[in-house]
Structure 1
Amino acid sequence: MARTPESPVPPRITAPDLPPVLEPATPARSGDLIAARLDLTGTVDLAYATLEQCVVSADAESVDLTGATVIDVDMSGARIASLRMRDAGVRRLRISGGRIGTLDLSEARISELDLRDVRIDYLNLGAAKVTDLEISGCAIRTIDMPQAELTRVRFTATSSDEVDPRGMRAKDLDLRGLDAMAYLDAHSLRGATLTSFQVQQLAPAIAAGIGIQVRD
Structure 2
Amino acid sequence: MAIRTRSTRGKGGTQAPSFDFDEAVVLAGVTPGDADAFDVFEGVAYTGVARADWTLAVGDTVEACRFDGLELDSWTLRGAHLLESVVAGANVPAVSGARGGWRDVEVRDSRFGSVEVYDASWRGIRFTRCKLGYVNLRAAELLDVAFVDCTIDEIDLMDASARRVAFDGSRVATLNTAGSRLTDVDLRGADLGQVVGLEGLRGATISAEQLQLMAPALAALAGITVEG
Q: TM-score, normalised by structure 1?
A: 0.92
* Paired position in structure 2 for 1:43: 53
Residue 201 of structure 1 aligns to a residue in which SS? helix
* Percentage of pairs with the same residue: 26
**1:108 pairs with 2:120:** yes
Change (3 A) 1:40 1:131: farther
1:103, distance to aligned residue in structure 2 (A) = 1.9
Aligned residues: 213
Q: Does 1:99 align with 2:108?
A: no
After superposition, give the CA deviation of every residue in 1:10-41 in whole Å (9 maximum; x if it has no partner): 1112334213232415456xxx7211234252
Question: Displaced runs of 4+ in structure 1, greater than 6 A?
Answer: none
Does residue 15 of the first structure (1) align with residue 22 of the second (2)? yes
Verify the 8 A CA contact 1:15 1:94 in the aligned structure 2.
no
CA–CA separation in structure 2 for the residues paired with 1:155 and 1:47: 31
Q: Which amino acid aligns with 2:78?
A: T
**1:34 aligned residue (27, 42, 45):** 42
> Mind listing any 5+ residue stretches in structure 1 that lack a counterpart?
none
Alignment of 1:146-157 (within 5 A): 146-157=158-169
Name whichever of 137-146 and 4-13 sits farther off. Answer: 4-13
State whether residues 22 and 54 of structure 1, in contact with CA within 8 Å, keep that contact through their aligned partners in structure 2.
Answer: no
Deviates more, 1:110-119 or 1:56-65: 56-65
- 2:186 aligned to 156, 169, 174, which one? 174
| CA RMSD between the two structures | 1.9
**What is the SS of the residue equivalent to 1:66?**
coil
Distance 1:147 1:214 in 2: 30
Residue equivalent to 1:193: 205
Matched residue SS, 1:160: strand
Alignment of 1:63-142 (within 5 A): 63-142=75-154
**Map of 1:52 onto structure 2:** 63
Residue identity opposite 1:34 in structure 2: E
Structure 1 letter corresponding to 2:143: T
**Letter paired with 2:15:** V
What is the distance in 2 between the residues matched to 1:111 and 1:27? Answer: 26
CA distance, structure 2, for counterparts of residue 206 and residue 27 of structure 1:
51
- Provide the rounded CA distance (Å) in 2 between the counterparts of 1:108 and 1:27: 25
Cα displacement (A) at 1:90: 1.0
One-letter code of the match for 2:43? Answer: A
- SS, match of residue 203 in structure 1: helix
| Runs (5+) with no aligned partner, structure 2 | none
Deviations 1:66-117 (A, max 9, x none): 1111111100010000112211111111100021101222111111000000
